[in-house]
């Protein structure tokens, strides 16, 4: 009698996604929809969700090519006319390695701003790394 590997069939009991299958790679990208990293011709931009956190509660640290974004939000309500007290807090933490960190202009200070619950950090690129339009000349044959 040959030895056959036993694979349990849990599909009827629990509906779990296949994290290792090629078809479900979009699941990994959907799980991290709170962070956007992209490049333009002039800069590298990182946007992160920090919903409700004021600008003074957002910390951004850039060290050795890694950007760390931390933010906190706290709410406290105390009902004057009712026996009600509520306190809630949220925290956000993102760490991302900058793509093409060699393209970042080290002499220019990155800009960070919070607007509508999103912190945006912009790193300027060096002039040498920006795309250049070349002039195409027509060669005249003799």
Q: What is the band of 28 on the pLDDT scale with cuts at 50, 70, 90? A: very low
Which residues, in sequence order, are CB contacts of 103 under 8 Å at separation 6+?
44, 125, 126, 129
Say whether pLDDT at 26 is over 60: no
For 33-127, CATH gives: 2.60.40.790
Q: 39: helix, coil or strand?
A: strand
> Model confidence over 66-98: pLDDT tens digits?
889 999 988 877 777 767 777 788 888 999 888
**pLDDT tens-digit profile of 107-124?**
888 899 999 889 999 999
Q: Convert the pLDDT of each residue in 52-66 to its tens digit.
A: 888 999 999 988 888
- Residue environment code for 2-37, b if the CB has 16+ CB neighbours within 10 A, otherwise e: eeeeeeeeeeeeeeeeeeeeeeeeeeeeeeeeeeee
- pLDDT higher than threshold 90 for residue 30: no
Apex 35 CA angle, 33 and 39, nearest 5? 120
- Across 13-27, 28-42, 50-64, which has the greatest mean pLDDT? 50-64
Domain boundaries, the chain: 33-127
């Amino acid at each position: 009698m040959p030895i056959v590997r036993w694979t349990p069939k849990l599909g009827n009991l629990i509906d779990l996604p296949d994290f290792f299958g090629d078809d479900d790679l979009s699941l990994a990208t959907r799980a991290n929809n709170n962070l956007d990293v992209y490049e333009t011709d002039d800069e590298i931009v990182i946007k992160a969700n920090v919903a409700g956190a004021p600008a003074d509660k957002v910390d951004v640290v850039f060290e050795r090519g890694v950007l760390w974004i931390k933010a906190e939000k706290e709410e406290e309500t105390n009902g004057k006319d009712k026996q009600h007290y509520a306190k809630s807090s949220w925290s956000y933490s993102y760490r991302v390695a900058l793509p093409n960190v060699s393209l970042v202009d080290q002499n220019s200070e990155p800009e960070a701003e919070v607007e509508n619950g999103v912190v945006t950090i912009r790193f300027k690129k060096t002039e040498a790394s920006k795309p250049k339009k070349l002039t195409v000349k027509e060669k005249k044959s003799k």
